[in-house]
Amino acid sequence: MEDILYAPWRNEYITNKKIQGCVFCHISLNAQEDENLHVLYRDEHCFIVMNRYPYTPGHFMIIPHLHTDKLEDLQSEVWLHMSALAQKGVRLLKEGLNAQGVNIGMNLGKAGGAGIAEHIHMHLVPRWERDTNFITSIAQTRVYSADFEKVYKKIKNLISRYIEA
């Protein structure tokens, strides 16, 4: 068996591909790149995309198309839609990936811990008992225990049953 330390952030050094500007706006405006960008779903209000720097296998985000860093400025219709997608996403993670729990969260602003502070987004992180280990606690390094592409394809196949239904 091969040991793998998952480090997707190194890809830009290898491929020399770096998105200029807001990465979420780039994804929003480039539906033709959905598979390469690991988009799971999109509609008129928002899109769902796999997190490129996941905490656990299956970690995805719900992101409005509107570029804003202010949740308080988001139209109620869009916020309610995102919330409805979050409910469906939790069911997908629990039933489709057998997650024992789910963390849902938004980090608003740089001071709030947002890695991409200029465009709000909601995280859905599937959790399992004992899914953290010493390397996360001691070395501040995440070990991704599954093949990212396989997880993406599995969730993508579940979208029609849980999100679009």
CA distance 87 to 122: 12
Burial 37-70 (b: 16+ CB within 10 A, else e): bbbbbbeebbbbbbbeebbbbbbbbbbbbeeeee
Sign of CA dihedral 127, 165, 149, 107: negative
Give the pLDDT confidence of 49-62 residue by residue, as tens digits. Answer: 999 888 889 999 99
Select the more confidently predicted residue: 1 or 6: 6
Active-site amino acid positions:
121
* DSSP β-bridge partners for residue 49: 39, 61
Q: What is the dihedral of CA 138, 141, 145, 147, to 10 degrees?
A: -170
The answer to whether 38 and 52 are in contact (CB under 8 A) is yes
| Strand 122-127 relative to strand 101-105, pairing | antiparallel
CA distance 63 to 49: 8
Nearest to 99 by CA among 133, 128, 75: 128
Give the pLDDT mean for 118-139: 78
| pLDDT > 80? residue 25 | yes
Structure tokens at 97: 């990936």
pLDDT value of position 54 = 87
pLDDT value of position 84 = 98
CA distance 165 to 145: 30
Give the pLDDT mean for 84-98: 98
| pLDDT > 50? residue 79 | yes
Question: What is the enclosing helix (H) or strand (E) of 85?
Answer: helix 76-91
C-alpha 98 chain-centroid distance: 17
Domain segments of the chain as ranges: 8-162
Fold of 8-162: HIT family, subunit A (3.30.428)
